[in-house]
Structure 1
Amino acid sequence: MNPKKPLVWVVDSTYTGELHARIGLAERLGYGYECIPLPNGDNTRYQQNLQNRYAQTDGSPPLLVISGTGEETTAEIADLRAVFDGRLFNVYLASILPEQRHPRLADYDLVASPQLSGDNIITLTGVPHLLTHQSLENAAQQHASYFKHLPKPMIALLVGGNTRYCQGFTVEHAQQLAQRVVGISTQLSAYVMVTNSRRTPPEALDALLVGLADVPHQFFDWQQAPGDFYHALLANADVFIVTGDSLSMCSEAAFTGKPLLVDLSESATECFHREIVGRLLEYGAAKLLSEPFTPWRYTPPDPTGALADAIRQRLAATSIC
């Protein structure tokens, strides 16, 4: 057994949720990590650059690489096994997979997926994310002076938007969503905090906020707020309403253990989203957005922690560590 802790490389991504999932896992593992660039189309040069980078590391430690869905890099990252033969443990985070899985997934040491099962697969409830209980507590303390003045109970409305394969987050859909949120807010006499994502169409967001005019609410743009303000919202909210197109936001809300209502309208979500969020429904962490609201309790799923534990166990059983 090699007593050295692994060198952890996180493959970069332009997709926020995918990158946060990889970084969240790396942070939960506790070994430290570095980000490496995406493959550049020149596989030979890419491998040489990584070899040179590895050569600068003291002591030839075991290597753990974390990549996954987003940009199509499955084959290029799988090919690193030949470059770092006997030293590499390759992890693939599959937030959403098409009906036909990539044939090179079998070349990974571990695949984490809310859709798949098998020998080298960890089946998750939800998807990995950045949150920890400590990060929620820290954010709540950091912004305590702001949230203590807001009315209770508080509904956090977490809004995604259009995806690569579904463009249904329209003005009409936003208006219908607002009507349902108003119904829940009125029932609970609740204050509504709204935030968006980079995928939220501006015109749909405007329509949503106009539709909430009859209930007390406010909106903050996640791109303009301090980095941990979103985490503070998660810590302070009493109920979540989340659009089902964002697996990250659904998983983050479920991690808090608070009631989570999900909009899974077929016109605004992909079938893969409905399948994966359906696991949260089956688990009991979420219910469909409908009226009236009835509170419930559940044990929060922790896909990031479950995956980190599985990786530590697999590493201990391999010859690279």
Structure 2
Amino acid sequence: MTAEPAPVWVLADPRAGTAAQALGIAERLGRPFREIPLAWGALARLPLPFGSLAGLTPAARAAFAPPWPALAVSAGRRSGPVALWLGRRGVRTVHCMRAAGAAGFDLHVVGRHDAPAPAPNLLTILGAAHRVSPARLAAARAEWAALQALPAPRVALLVGGPVRGVGMAPAAAATLGARVAGFAGSVLATASRRTGAAATEALAGALSTVPHRLHRWGGKGANPLLGFMAWADALVVTGDSVSMLSESLMTAAPIFIAPQGDEGRRHLALHESLYAAGQARPLSAAPAPFARAPLDEMGRVAAEILRRGLLP
């Protein structure tokens, strides 16, 4: 017997962060989905405003054959023409992030900080799409229940790194760590690929004055990021990381943004949008607590897809 085709395709960009945005939407729909891996050829750099598979490698192009899904979810500029190509074959399309030919998508999900022009198919969200859900946070809280033994207030410190380039300056990491350690009962810190080994060790030294947990990028064991977020009484997130800032919105804890000084216009616009919505404050305002409720933007996107009848 032939397996029932998946009603949803996720066009998975090879960049994990971009693919995660499409996956985050698909996962909240509660329907089976199939990941279609994308691989880019030389023509992918062209901002085509119409449907085309020309940007794909021949091997990636071979995956595009009927039966077609009811819905395709995509993210990123390069996958836009691929989604539009499916749209010409009767597939409903949901695309997140900016792309050429945006009027052709059935639903276009764009961060408020990108200031998109109003359009009938536009849905603006605070931050960017991501894969953190209430269920995943609840599971992480149970998995990492031992963290509740650490002294309060538990401050999750989520550290990224330069938007362009490799490695945060060790002095900057040490300064940030010392600032957070100064008002935390304990610190739950995680470094990322962009932080760099030298900065991570400088951060470890700065946190040595308080009870803490530090997850080093590439370290052994499970990644505790969601556990740190689930048990945090406050979060401090470096301003370079759109993904961690957006994911943090799913918690109920106060969020403080630690600017790094090298963020571009779009990152700064994101910070301002979070401040204006009452969802975050600059690190200079810490540790004064403020009330905020979890913001489930992915749940809102999924509800809008169903409200518009894009998925039977």
State TM-score, norm by structure 1.
0.81
Query: 1:313: Cα distance to partner?
Result: 1.6
In the alignment, which residue of structure 2 is the partner of 1:147? 147
In the alignment, which residue of structure 1 is the partner of 2:250? 255
Q: What do residues 214-253 of structure 1 show as CA deviations (whole Å, max 9, x unaligned)?
A: 3332211354465563222211111100011112211222
Q: What do residues 59-117 of structure 1 show as CA deviations (whole Å, max 9, x unaligned)?
A: x652x111112x733333323333x2xx21122111xx5xxxx4322222221111224
Query: 1:287: Cα distance to partner?
Result: 0.5
Does the Cα contact within 8 Å between 2:167 and 2:199 map onto a contact in 1? no
Give distance in 2, aligned partners of 1:14 and 1:202. Answer: 25
Query: 1:304: Cα distance to partner?
Result: 0.5
In the alignment, which residue of structure 2 is the partner of 1:264? 259
Aligned pairs for 1:1-321 within 5 A:
7-41=7-41, 43=53, 45=58, 49-52=62-65, 54-55=66-67, 62=70, 64-69=71-76, 72-82=78-88, 84=89, 87-94=90-97, 102-114=99-111, 115=114, 116-119=116-119, 120-144=121-145, 146-164=146-164, 169-185=168-184, 190-221=185-216, 223-224=218-219, 227=222, 229-267=224-262, 269-315=263-309, 321=312
Q: Is the partner of 2:273 in helix, strand or coil?
A: helix
- For the structure 1 residues 90 and 216, does the alpha-carbon distance in structure 2 shift closer, same or farther, using more than 3 Å as the test? same
- For the structure 1 residues 47 and 240, does the alpha-carbon distance in structure 2 shift closer, same or farther, using more than 3 Å as the test? closer
Query: 1:298: Cα distance to partner?
Result: 1.6
Structure 2: segments with no counterpart, 5+ residues: 44-52
State the number of aligned residues: 292
State TM-score, norm by structure 2.
0.83
Question: Given residue 74 of structure 1, which amino acid in structure 2 is its aligned partner?
Answer: G
Q: Is the partner of 1:266 in helix, strand or coil?
A: coil
Q: What do residues 104-141 of structure 1 show as CA deviations (whole Å, max 9, x unaligned)?
A: 22222221111224222111012222222222112211
Give distance in 1, aligned partners of 2:93 and 2:69. Answer: 14
Q: Is the partner of 1:218 in helix, strand or coil?
A: strand
Flag the structure with more relative contact order, 1 or 2, with Cα contacts below 8 A and sequence separation at least 6: 1
Does the Cα contact within 8 Å between 2:75 and 2:95 map onto a contact in 1? yes
Q: Is the partner of 2:155 in helix, strand or coil?
A: strand
Question: Given residue 90 of structure 1, which amino acid in structure 2 is its aligned partner?
Answer: T
Give distance in 2, aligned partners of 1:173 and 1:228. Answer: 24
Moved more, 106-115 or 223-232: 223-232
Give distance in 2, aligned partners of 1:167 and 1:147. Answer: 31
- For the structure 1 residues 18 and 227, does the alpha-carbon distance in structure 2 shift closer, same or farther, using more than 3 Å as the test? farther
Q: What do residues 266-313 of structure 1 show as CA deviations (whole Å, max 9, x unaligned)?
A: 33x222111123211111111000155211112222111111111112
- For the structure 1 residues 39 and 77, does the alpha-carbon distance in structure 2 shift closer, same or farther, using more than 3 Å as the test? farther
Considering only aligned residues, what root-mean-square deviation do their CA atoms show, in Å? Answer: 2.7
Does the Cα contact within 8 Å between 2:6 and 2:34 map onto a contact in 1? no
Structure 1: segments with no counterpart, 5+ residues: none
- For the structure 1 residues 307 and 75, does the alpha-carbon distance in structure 2 shift closer, same or farther, using more than 3 Å as the test? same
Query: 1:198: Cα distance to partner?
Result: 2.1
Q: Is the partner of 2:22 in helix, strand or coil?
A: helix
Does the Cα contact within 8 Å between 2:160 and 2:194 map onto a contact in 1? yes
Does the Cα contact within 8 Å between 2:170 and 2:198 map onto a contact in 1? yes
* Matched-pair identity in %: 29
- For the structure 1 residues 108 and 225, does the alpha-carbon distance in structure 2 shift closer, same or farther, using more than 3 Å as the test? farther
Question: Given residue 195 of structure 1, which amino acid in structure 2 is its aligned partner?
Answer: T
- For the structure 1 residues 109 and 221, does the alpha-carbon distance in structure 2 shift closer, same or farther, using more than 3 Å as the test? same
Moved more, 119-128 or 227-236: 227-236
Does the Cα contact within 8 Å between 2:249 and 2:279 map onto a contact in 1? yes
Query: 1:38: Cα distance to partner?
Result: 0.8
Give distance in 2, aligned partners of 1:309 and 1:222. Answer: 35
- For the structure 1 residues 110 and 156, does the alpha-carbon distance in structure 2 shift closer, same or farther, using more than 3 Å as the test? same
Q: What do residues 143-170 of structure 1 show as CA deviations (whole Å, max 9, x unaligned)?
A: 32x2243222211101111224x66832
Give distance in 2, aligned partners of 1:112 and 1:241. Answer: 26
Give distance in 1, aligned partners of 2:268 and 2:218. Answer: 27
